[in-house]
């Protein structure tokens, strides 16, 4: 197995290529955030390695790559795709997966490999983090050995990716759920309480409720007319079903459907959340008054007033503030699933 250096460049991948006559095995690059889940990801990864090698080493070059700072996984992924890796596997939670997905794109376009042009690198996932909400949509348990078995079987299918854009600046990609206002603010605070594990989501939500005010939002679906939704508490754009540590927020979303499910909660008070919490977890909240669901391939969201403090997050990562446009990229990535 090869270990990629801590630099974004991965010279050993190109060394493998120059020895190509000797080995036709392709590289699988495992992107590991060793500090994930309060350091648990690094420890679990070490325990998993012997099993992973026994299952995969006869067919692939196994390349470990440890991230050393935020966004490092993006650089590692781009380099691996350019060097024709067979797959890039995110080892960790939704944050690591989110970075790896963003590494499949550069300057608004898919990354291409240096040799064949069109990239054929697949995305893989070994859930080993605080939150593994994306894995839940596929019914995957937090079982790293089962994830290795999936990679060994190598069955692939294409999944959609969401892209978030605004008038200026680089587009940003997400694979799970993007959300706006209260839930995005809760995610922003939850990231500060990661040391409390899964409980961080509850603490984040409580903190977000302080000083929260529902706001009127202007929304345009699939390029139609602008429509005002009043007293919006939260708006969620689902490519997949779960967020916030297991809430089935967009229960009809399917990452192979070529559509988002957009769920809008209007005029919720803090006690409405408490009363409906079980429904948010089992996905039956769409029957609740003031909850609407829209199927869309693009949605633009802006604040009705001129304040610019409405939070936006993607896959649990803080992205800034409204206005934003969310669009689906159908079948954008091939995924091992």
Share of the chain above pLDDT 90, in %: 73
Q: How confident is the model at residue 117 (pLDDT cuts 50, 70, 90)?
A: low
Could you tell me which residue, 116 or 333, shows the higher pLDDT?
333
Distances (CA, A) of 303 to 6, 185, 205, 214, 326: 42, 15, 22, 11, 15
Give pLDDT, residue 209.
85
Instruction: Answer for the pair 105, 75: CB distance below 8 angstroms, yes or no.
Output: no
Q: With 50 as the cut, is the pLDDT of residue 10 above it? A: no
Domains of the chain: 26-154 (3.40.50.10330), 177-331 (2.60.200.40)
Q: With 50 as the cut, is the pLDDT of residue 8 above it? A: no
pLDDT digits (tens, 9 = 90+) for 51-66: 999 999 999 999 999 9
CA distance 137 to 261: 13
Q: Which positions are catalytic?
A: 94
> Taking residues 291-299, what's their average pLDDT?
98
User: Kind and range of the H or E element at 292?
Assistant: strand 291-296
């Amino acid at each position: 197995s090869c270990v990629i250096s801590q630099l974004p460049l991965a010279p050993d991948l190109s060394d493998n290529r120059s020895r190509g006559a000797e080995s036709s095995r392709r590289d699988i690059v495992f992107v590991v955030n060793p500090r994930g889940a309060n350091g648990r990801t690094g420890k679990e990864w070490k325990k998993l390695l012997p099993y992973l090698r026994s299952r995969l080493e006869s067919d692939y070059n196994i390349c470990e790559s440890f991230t050393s700072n935020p966004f490092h996984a993006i650089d590692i992924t781009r380099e691996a795709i350019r060097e024709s890796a067979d797959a890039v596997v995110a080892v960790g939670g939704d944050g690591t997966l989110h970075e790896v997905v963003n590494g499949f794109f550069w300057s608004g376009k898919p990354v291409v490999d240096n040799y064949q042009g069109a990239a054929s690198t697949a995305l893989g996932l070994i859930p080993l983090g605080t939150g593994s909400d994306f894995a839940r949509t596929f019914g995957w348990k937090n079982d790293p050995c089962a994830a290795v078995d999936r990679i060994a079987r190598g069955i692939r299918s294409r999944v959609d990716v969401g892209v978030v854009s605004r008038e200026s600046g680089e587009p940003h990609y997400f694979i799970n759920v993007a959300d706006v206002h209260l839930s995005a603010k809760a995610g922003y605070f939850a990231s500060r309480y990661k040391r409390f594990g899964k409980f961080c989501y509850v603490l984040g939500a409580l903190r977000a409720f302080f000083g929260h005010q529902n706001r009127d939002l202007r929304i345009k679906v699939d390029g139609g007319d602008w429509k005002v939704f009043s007293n919006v508490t939260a708006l969620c754009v689902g490519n997949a079903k779960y967020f916030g540590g297991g809430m089935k927020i967009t229960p009809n979303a399917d990452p192979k459907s070529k559509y988002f499910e957009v769920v809008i909660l209007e005029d919720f008070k803090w006690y409405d959340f408490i009363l409906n919490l079980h429904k948010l977890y089992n996905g039956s909240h769409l029957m609740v008054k003031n909850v609407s669901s829209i199927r869309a391939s693009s949605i633009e969201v802006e604040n009705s007033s001129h304040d610019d403090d409405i939070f936006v997050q993607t896959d649990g990562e803080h992205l800034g503030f409204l206005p934003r446009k969310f669009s689906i990229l159908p079948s954008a990535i091939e995924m091992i699933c």
